[in-house]
Amino acid sequence: MGQITQTLIKIKEDIKPLLTEMYPNLIELIDFVHRDNYQEWAGMLFNLIEWQISPELIDINTLTLSDIKSKKVAKELDDYVGMTDFGYISVVVMDGEQHLIDGYHRVLIAKEQGIRQLKGGVWTKEPNTHENCAKIKNLIINNL
């Protein structure tokens, strides 16, 4: 387990109320990612002053996926047969395209089932002036 993962596990209960204060419209998404220790959000949380997140219904057929990760995850899909709760996915906008950062299993299963859209959070590189940005960064730094 990497150091950043250990740190996020250690401080996840401190991060959650700060995020829900910042994004009261994203409580279900925050709860979902909280259960996974914010692992896929680590980079954005550390530099939250540069990022915004918004809830969206995401067209999974237009997502940019990593070929390597998709191939790896495709080998594990048998473990997810019968999935009906797709939770939330997370994407980041880069060069005008939505890149999947969390939810590969859910996206691939949804595609197999003919589902076109999933709920998720979309990260965009935009200034974030909320005072909790610094609090979250300090939590991470002070617990590494």
- CA dist., res. 131 & res. 49, Å (int): 9
pLDDT at 88 over 80: yes
Predicted confidence at residue 17, as pLDDT, reads 98
- CA dist., res. 40 & res. 42, Å (int): 6
Predicted confidence at residue 42, as pLDDT, reads 92
**52 close to 128: Cβ distance less than 8 angstroms:** yes
Predicted confidence at residue 1, as pLDDT, reads 61
- CA dist., res. 140 & res. 12, Å (int): 10
pLDDT band at 140 (very low <50, low <70, confident <90, very high): very high
Predicted confidence at residue 115, as pLDDT, reads 95
* pTM of the shown model: 0.91
**118 close to 76: Cβ distance less than 8 angstroms:** no
**93 close to 124: Cβ distance less than 8 angstroms:** yes
Predicted confidence at residue 100, as pLDDT, reads 97
Predicted confidence at residue 80, as pLDDT, reads 84
Q: What are the tens digits of pLDDT across the range 23-51? A: 999 999 999 999 999 989 999 999 999 99
